[in-house]
Amino acid sequence: MNDEINFYTTYNDFKSYTTPVLKRKHVRQFDREFWHPTACSTDMAVLEIGCGTGLFLYYLKEKGVTDLLGIDQNFELTRYLPSAVGDNFVNADVWQFIADSAGKRRFHRIAMFDVLEHFTPHEGVRLLRGLSGILAPGGRVLARVPNVASPWGVQVQFGDLTHKTPFTPGSMRQLALAAGFTCTACLPQVRGHWSRRATDRLLHGLLSRLLITAPEIWTANLIAVLEPRPA
């Protein structure tokens, strides 16, 4: 008897999807989390794996990027995509997309927001190796994942039963190396009003002084910039 449950069958209801509205706070957030860390520019081709309802795609469009594409295996998301990026979405399985794109299309930047934790470590290595084959020379991959090195990241990682791999800055670097990448930057995800961010910095600074072993990154999520190692 097989009692295995597929939690993705109820994922739409769990996530309560709606069509996103791009606000200035979102632009500032993606500037901090993607544009500046990856040194992106408008003449680059950008791919988002697991694009969800298309907020990041909409951001790229507003930034002036013309060669952008988002893929997601959930066809139902087409109901929520902003009309401005409807033509930039492909309903595809990531493994098939990589196989179909190899030798045909390359991207300068590939973004994965809250995606990599849905794969096992072995699948994550396979995914990054596949993405290296569709990266343009000098290309970079950016991944945002829950940070279980921080006590604030545990609830993010284990608040979704489809998450398979918990990450710390150290394990992210380990995964990158196994896949033939170098993690060139491991950054905190800075969010919220400036006063809340200031409070966080004070609290984390105090805790780092008091604790014998403090996390490298305190925020609930971490952002990793990955670059393929020279062959």
pLDDT exceeds cutoff 50 at 1: no
Query: What pLDDT was estimated at residue 41?
Result: 98
Q: How confident is the model at residue 194 (pLDDT cuts 50, 70, 90)?
A: confident
Q: Which CATH number fits domain 7-193+219-228: 2.70.98.10, 1.20.1070.10, 3.40.50.150, 3.30.565.10?
A: 3.40.50.150
Quote the distance between the C-alpha of residue 79 and its chain's center.
Answer: 22
At 87-111, the pLDDT tens digits run: 999 999 999 999 999 889 999 999 9
Q: For the residues 213-223, what does the mean pLDDT come to?
A: 95
Dist CA 175 CA 91 (whole Å): 27
Lowest mean pLDDT among 37-41, 73-77, 115-119, 183-187: 73-77
Q: For the residues 35-52, what does the mean pLDDT come to?
A: 98
pLDDT exceeds cutoff 90 at 161: yes
**Can you name the residues that pair with 143 across neighbouring β-strands?**
112, 224
Q: What is the pTM for the complete model shown?
A: 0.94
Dist CA 223 CA 145 (whole Å): 7
Q: Provide the b/e sequence for 177-189 (b: ≥16 CB within 10 Å).
A: eebebebeebbbb
**Can you name the residues that pair with 70 across neighbouring β-strands?**
48, 89
**DSSP per position, 81-119:** S-GGGGGGEEE--HHHHHHHHTTT--EEEEEEES-GGGS
3-state SS track over 153-184: CHHHHCCCCCCCCCECHHHHHHHHHHCCEEEE
Domain assignments of the chain as residue spans, ordered by start: 7-193+219-228
Query: What pLDDT was estimated at residue 43?
Result: 98
Dist CA 213 CA 192 (whole Å): 26
At 131-145, the pLDDT tens digits run: 999 999 999 999 999
Kindly state the helix (H) or strand (E) to which residue 143 belongs, with its residue range: strand 135-146
